[in-house]
Amino acid sequence: MDLRNHGLSPHSDVWTYPAMSDDLLELISNEHLTDVTLLGHSMGGKVAMHVALYHPEKIARLIVADMSPRYYPVEQDKVIEGLLSVDLGKITSRKEAEDQLSVHISDQGTRQFLLKNLYRKNENTFAWRFNLDAISKNIATIGSTFSPSSTACTLPSLFLRGEHSNYITEEDIPEIKKLFSKSEIETIAGAGHWLHADKPELFFTAVTGFIERAS
């Protein structure tokens, strides 16, 4: 599922975890989904946690990929700055967009990932699929707007972390265990924050193994 302001999902000035959770619940309802395994990565992981804590009756099990319930300071300033620097009205190719991005974002993999969201709106104009305006305005608060409920989630839960990522640290584990009392924590060897892209086979094995155990 593309979250609001991302991919092909609708754009909105409202970009909060409760709003994104409501979108997800609406999808579950509209599609009449049952026995749901909810998996989310990074920000999507916080959306998944929010649903599990406030609406546990809607899902059967939870998988969170490299994200904890804590506050995260903004670490994407350069990415936002780079995206805003791309002059969509003047570029005529993806190569030109990448050249402009490279001034702010040195990692080629990150640039290529971001450029997947660039599409040709018409013959002479490019546009971003994500809502860059809403994201840039709210990025400073999105790390702090997740509000865990006072009641622990008792659903079977798996927290996957990348060996080379600092998104789930040893200090985060007590809070995870407090909020998700039946949680398992597993480390994907050799992976960073993008663990599903870094080590897809290990990630797949961990996910399917957990679903089998928790079913």
Please list the active-site residues: 42, 133, 193
Q: Which residue has the tokens 């969170």?
A: 64
Q: ∠ at Cα 179 (176, 181), nearest 5°?
A: 85
Amino acid 101 reads L
Separation between Cα atoms, residue 65 and residue 47, nearest integer Å: 12
Asked whether the beta carbons of 171 and 63 are under 8 A apart, the reply is: no
Q: Where are the beta strands (DSSP E) in 22-117?
A: 37-41, 61-65
Asked whether the beta carbons of 162 and 188 are under 8 A apart, the reply is: yes
